[in-house]
A and B are shown apart, each in its own frame.
Chain A
Amino acid sequence: MLWIITKKQLLINLLSYRFVVGFILCQVLFVLATLILVNDYEERVKAYGEAVSRQQERIEKVKVYSDLIREPLTLYKPPAKLSPICTGFEKTLANQASLNYHQIPELEVGRQEKNALLAALGSIDLVTVIQLVLGLLVLLFAHDTVSGERERGTLALSLSGPLPRHKFLLGQYLGGMITIATVFLVGILLALFLMKRSSAVNLDQADWMRLGLIVVISLVYLSALYLLGITASILSKRSTTALVVLLFFWIVFIVIFPNLTSALAARLKPVPARGVVTERVALLRREFWTRVYAESSRDLPRPEHNFDYIEGRSVYSGGLAYPIRIYYAPREIIEWELEGLKRFLPIEIEYAGKIHAVHADYERQLDAQARLARILARLSPAWSYYNTASSLAGTDAETQMAFLDRARRYRNQLMDYVSSKDGLFSYRFFTRREPRSFKSTPELDLLKGQGDRLHQEIGTGWDSVPPLDLRDRPPFNHSTFRVRDSLLNSLPDLVLLVFLNLAFFLAAHVCFLKTDVRVGG
């Protein structure tokens, strides 16, 4: 009996106008969206590969340790494989992190794309299509499941036999859900087919599992909406009334809800302007340099410089003992620079910590605001669904921030590595030769008269120096992102979605038991 009702509902749906129009529209949207999303993903994979190899090239040219940890070293997050399905924060939050001894990776504003101005335009992914368009389609299917039958008089007819009401309801539900699932699954299969054709997309077992879970969650979401639609349909006398109520629910809770909640969260938990952070950081940097210059001019007298004896030297300023790179200089200059380095480098590293504390404090405030927005967003099943899907796709805020945390830990590892090579507070930071092997100015003065001897002593410059062997440096570990963690992260949203299904089913059931099945009843 249940099957008959299901089949009846299925046939009604499949033969209806809305199914034909909805099916075609959804498939067209899925195909078009997937095509441009996959293309975008390919672009991002390519850009990532290029960036990583540029970085690698740079590291292969490192000649002293300051090259490695003074220049910003950038870590890149590979594009999430499921980001075409659900883009989430993939393009808006930390997908690269720059670090060096005076800079700890921070959360940056602005889109993490080549063109940050693209923030002015909207963006879309497959989950958004499901959330909005399929969400609308479900409500269009559900709004007359009961009220329509009542209007046509078939409801009284169906229930005049020995059919329990709950079976009728279940049949209606199953018939509708099978219709929706057809539209959805055909769409997602088309999308997957198009994704698989691209050579850039390589899904492994874990990715397929995530994908499977996203499909299940999508069905759970659509089912919750369908049950809500049935409830509205039972409660309203006319199908049009149910439709109007459902459409207003859709526009408020699904379309404009995130705009509303983020505006509200920004109001309820305001954060100071980022300019304040920039200002405080600039102040700390100025404070640091004032301290260095003051100390340097007080008790680090600059030895006499004869520029004929200096080769391949990069400095902040001529009068300051804070070396960057020196190929050759008289011994007393090397010693003077080394003394400055030993004094100032620890201070600068300390200031990096102070600056990070300012950023971290700001980040905590941003995070608190975002958490509030996320809690508010749970009032809408559509955003519980989106958050769960992006968590599964590995594009949620947590995963992006976890990358930043790993980059911060990596900075410590790299500093430890350089320190273990004695490359931090020693001459190795800025030169390749021991200070004792450099000659002093009087010795060089003597060489000056002896033809080519001075030239031989000084050498030809950095070009002749082989790069450092850094192959034993700690590797940066990319993936710590497991399906279990994603599920745990989105547990409240997940529970909420399942709970909504049960609640709406119960509501529909109770209302249906009491409903008057007669025409106009």
Chain B
Amino acid sequence: MSLDLLKKEILDHLLSLRLILAFVLIIALLVASGVLFVLDYKAQVSDYNAQVNDNLSLLSKNLSGGIFQAFSWNRQNIYRRPNPLGFLAEGKEKDLPNAYRVSAFRLQGPDYSLRGNPLLGDFDALDWSFIVATVLSFVAILLASDGVNGEKQNGTLRLVLSNPVPRARVLISKYLSTMILLTIPLALGGLIGLLVISGSGLVPLGAQDWAKIGLALAVSLLYLSVFVLLGLLLSTILKESQASLIVSLLVWVTLVIVIPSGASLTSKLWYSLPDEDTVARRAEQVMEDAYKNHDKRYPHKDNWIVSGQWSPGESLAKAIAIAEAQDRQLFQYEDSKVQQVRFGQQLSRTSPAGLFQSAVSSITGSGILHYESFTRQARSYRDELRRLVEENYPFDRVYPHFEVQSQIANLKVDYHVVPKFEEKLLAVREGWSKAIWDTGLLALLNVILFAGTWVLFLKYDAR
């Protein structure tokens, strides 16, 4: 009986105009997004490789000039790696910084070296998470919003319920049929898109990536289910199918479009940042204090000679103390910027669309999460370089040694000994542990909506 009901529900929808339009649109968009991603990723990878190679040749040139050339006076350029799962969630990475300039003492930036065009306006990329979040959820609510009252108006609901079927089963088959109808174009379009992507041979998808894709698909279904249930709920509450359609559309536009786009403004409202000049002034003050403290603790006749960067003969410990003092200030400021964005994301989590986008970007490790992990790695790379300098400095680190300046100036480090920066992408487990909350909340929302619809449907007057 259940199967019959399910079949009836599916057939009811199958030939409707909205389903045909939805199928065409969803599949076309998913395939187009796959093709666009392949073209885009190809360019990104070639840019990335070219930039990394440029940096390595610069490094080896600087190394021939000694450790001061390589680690104090000049900087290396390090880059964020393009995300091979960008087609799932690009996370506006094009508009986020992707590079740092790093020496053993400083981390400058963040900088931009991508193809982003500020004259284009900042729109989301046409990726899987955008298509699911906007287009599929729209279709979901469109399909479900007259599920109950529409049948009542047709008179078929009474007919169905006059049979010996429990109401719960009727409701579940309505729900399942809509979910199946949504899964078909999503799976089909997604599959063609994935075939295009993996067929291009440009994007190496490993076991980890497939796991991430699977998780993203699961979260997508959970998200769509929220809208199906919301549609069914409204269709049970409101008498006319017209009314429930209109109300659900307006609810949808608020949840999916308005709330997430209010995030950047509201985050600034509640979480304010000091201005850059104040921070820079404070950093300068702290550096000066560190400098004076060092001189007080370790008095030396040559302490007064300071070039502003660590140069032959100057105290290494002092250069490090100054750098660390500055880092504390600047890193804290950079971290508070990330916190502000996080705060905005928290606010947009009041909508299922926000929950979904944040879950998918955690799973794929894209967007602000990718930027954050890149920043963390850049900082620890700077520490690695500093350790390298310390290990290769055969003199006492605390006091200046101007008497052996020329000897120090000739210190060299072999190219092969220098660690090379290579960004590691987020592992599945890390991303999933971040996404678990969002997914849990989506699941909870599902349960609440389902319970609500169920209770109302049990008491529903089908006449």
Residues of A within 8 A of B (CB): 17-18, 21-22, 25, 29, 32-33, 36-37, 39-40, 43, 47, 50-51, 54, 89, 92-93, 107-111, 114-124, 128-129, 132-133, 136-137, 140, 239, 241, 243-245, 247-248, 251-252, 255-256, 258-260, 262-263, 265-267, 270-275, 278-279, 366-367, 369-370, 373, 397
Query: Which of B22, B121, B130, B275 meets A114, CB within 8 Å?
Result: B275
Instruction: Identify the 10 closest CB pairs spanning chains A and B, nearest first.
Output: A275-B113, A370-B119, A122-B261, A121-B264, A119-B95, A124-B261, A273-B47, A109-B112, A121-B263, A244-B18
- B253 in contact with A136 (CB, 8 Å): yes
Q: Which of B224-271 contact A (CB under 8 A)?
A: 240, 242-243, 245-247, 249-250, 253-254, 257-258, 260-269
Given A117-B338, A118-B267, A129-B258; A273-B96 close (CB under 8 Å): no
Contact B250 A22 (CB under 8 A): yes
Report chain A residues within 8 Å CB of B345: 121
Given contacts A109-B112, A366-B119, contact A121 B348 (CB under 8 A): yes
Query: Are B125 and A274 in contact, with the CB atoms below 8 A?
Result: no
Q: How far is the CB of B429 from chain A (nearest CB, A)?
A: 23
Of residues 26 through 68 on chain B, the ones whose CB sits less than 8 Å from some CB of chain A are 29, 36, 39-40, 43, 47, 50-51, 54
Q: Are A251 and B134 in contact (CB under 8 A)?
A: yes
Chain A residues contacting B388 (CB-CB under 8 Å) are none
Give complex CA distance A108, B110 in Å: 13
- Is the beta-carbon distance between B266 and A36 smaller than 8 angstroms? yes
Q: A114-B273, A114-B276, A124-B258 are in contact. Are A274 and B130 (CB under 8 A)?
A: no
Roughly how many angstroms separate A259 CA and B92 CA in the complex, as a whole number?
Answer: 12
> Is B91 interfacial (CB 8 A cutoff)?
yes
21 A–B pairs (Cβ distance < 8 Å), ordered by A: A21-B246, A36-B262, A115-B341, A118-B267, A120-B368, A121-B341, A123-B265, A124-B262, A128-B261, A140-B249, A247-B18, A248-B21, A251-B134, A256-B29, A262-B123, A266-B120, A272-B115, A274-B113, A275-B47, A275-B51, A366-B117
| CB atoms of A251 and B138 under 8 A apart | yes
Say whether A275 contacts B243, CB under 8 Å. no
* Residues of chain A contacted by B22 (CB below 8 angstroms): 248
Which chain B positions have C-beta within 8 A of A32?
A: 262
Minimal Cβ-Cβ distance residue in A for B241: A240
Chain B residues 351 to 395 lying within 8 A of chain A, measured CB to CB, are 367-368, 371
Tell me whether A263 and B134 are in contact in the complex, defined as CB-CB below 8 angstroms, given that A107-B118, A274-B114 are known contacts: no
Return chain B residues, CB-CB under 8 Å to A114. Answer: 273, 275-276
Complex interface: chain B residues within 8 A of A247 (CB): 18, 138, 142, 249
CB distance from B418 to the nearest CB of A (A): 20
The answer for the CA separation of A117 and B268 in the assembled complex, in Å, is 12
- A123 to chain B: closest residue by CB: B264
- Answer whether A117 and B114 are a contact pair too, CB < 8 Å, given A110-B97, A366-B119, A369-B119: no
A89 contact from B121, B243, B275, Cβ within 8 A: B121
- The CA-CA distance from A107 to B261 in the complex, in Å, is 26
Residues in B neighbouring A40, C-beta threshold 8 A:
265, 268-269
Chain A positions within 8 Å of B21 at CB level: 244-245, 248
B269 x A120 contact (CB < 8 A): no
Alpha-carbon separation in the docked complex, A461 to B97 (Å): 42
Assess the B250–A373 pair: CB atoms within 8 A.
Answer: no
Contacts of A270 on B, CB cut-off 8 Å?
A: 43, 115
The DSSP consensus for interface residues of chain B is helix
- Cβ of B116: which chain A residues have Cβ within 8 Å of it? 109, 274
If A133-B253, A262-B123, A397-B119 touch, whether A118 touches B268 (CB-CB below 8 Å) is: yes
Asked if B124 is an interface residue, CB under 8 A from chain A, the answer is yes
Q: Assuming the A-B contacts A29-B258, A267-B39, are A43 and B118 also in contact, with contact meaning beta carbons closer than 8 angstroms in the complex?
A: no
Contacts of A367 in B (CB 8 A): 119
New contact pairs (20) apart from A22-B246, A123-B264, A275-B50, CB-CB < 8 Å = A18-B246, A25-B254, A50-B275, A92-B122, A109-B118, A115-B337, A118-B268, A118-B344, A119-B92, A119-B96, A120-B92, A120-B368, A121-B260, A121-B341, A122-B261, A244-B16, A247-B249, A256-B126, A275-B47, A275-B113
Known: A133-B253, A140-B249. A121 touches B277 (CB 8 A): no
Q: Is the CB of A122 within 8 A of B246?
A: no
| B134 and A370 contact, CB distance less than 8 A | no
Most chain B CB atoms below 10 A, which of A40, A89, A119: A119
Instruction: Give every chain A residue within 8 A of B25 (Cβ-Cβ).
Output: 248, 251-252
Given contacts A124-B258, A256-B135, contact A373 B273 (CB under 8 A): no
CB distance from B167 to the nearest CB of A (A): 26
Q: B111 on the interface (CB 8 Å rule)?
A: yes
Residues of B within 8 A of A93 (CB): 118-119
A273 to B98, alpha carbons, bound, how many Å? 12
The smallest beta-carbon distance between B283 and chain A, in angstroms, is 16
B348: A residues at CB distance < 8 A = 121-122
Distance to closest chain A CB from B423 (angstroms)? 15
Q: Distance in Å from the Cβ of A281 to the closest Cβ of chain B?
A: 12
User: Which residues of B lie under 8 Å from residue A239 when comparing CB positions?
Assistant: 242
Residues of A within 8 Å of B18, CB to CB, are: 244, 247-248
Residues of A near B319 (CB, < 8 A) are none
Whether B340 sits at the interface, judged by CB under 8 Å, is yes
Residues on A with beta carbons closer than 8 Å to the beta carbon of B16: 244
* Residue B99 is within 8 A (CB to CB) of chain A in the complex: yes
Q: A406 vs B120: C-alpha distance in the bound complex, in angstroms?
A: 22
A259 touches B126 (CB 8 A): yes
A contact residues around B371 at 8 Å (CB): 117, 120
Query: Which one, B36, B96, B258, contacts A263 given CB within 8 A?
Result: B36
* Cβ–Cβ < 8 Å partners of A51 in chain B: 275, 277
Minimum CB–CB distance for B132 against chain A, Å = 12
Cβ-defined contact, A47 with B115, below 8 A: no
A117–B96 CB distance below 8 A: yes
When distances are taken between beta carbons in the complex, the residues of chain B under 8 Å from A266 are 40, 115, 117, 120
Question: Bound complex: CA of A377 vs CA of B96, how far in Å?
Answer: 24
Do A245 and B115 touch across chains, with their CB atoms under 8 A apart?
A: no
User: From residue B50, how far is it (CB to closest CB) to chain A in Å?
Assistant: 8
CA of A29 to CA of B255, assembled, Å: 12
Q: B268: which A residues are within 8 A, CB to CB?
A: 40, 43, 115, 118
**Which A residues are CB-close (under 8 A) to B254?**
25, 29
Beyond A270-B115, A272-B115, is A265–B269 a contact (Cβ under 8 Å)? Answer: no
Q: B15 at the A/B interface (Cβ < 8 Å)?
A: no
Whether the pair B119, A110 counts as a contact (CB closer than 8 A) is no
Chain B residues contacting A109 (CB-CB under 8 Å) are 112, 116, 118
* Chain A neighbourhood of B341, CB < 8 A: 115, 117-118, 120-121
In the complex, A266→B114 CA distance in Å?
12
Nearest CB in chain A to that of B79: its residue: A275
A35 nearest CB across to chain B (Å): 9
B17 nearest CB neighbor, chain A only: A244
Bound complex: CA of A279 vs CA of B114, how far in Å? Answer: 12
Q: Report A-chain residues with C-beta under 8 Å of the C-beta of B118.
A: 89, 92-93, 107-110, 366
**Is B99 within 8 A of A275, CB to CB?**
yes
Known pairs A116-B97, A118-B268; A260 contacts B115 (CB<8 A)? no
A33 to B257, CA, bound (A): 13
B261 touches A120 (CB 8 A): no
The verdict on A373 contacting B258 (CB below 8 Å), with A121-B348, A271-B115 known, is no
A260 to B125, CA, bound (A): 8
Given A256-B134, A263-B125, A33–B262 Cβ distance below 8 Å?
yes
Contacts of B111 on A, CB cut-off 8 Å?
A: 278
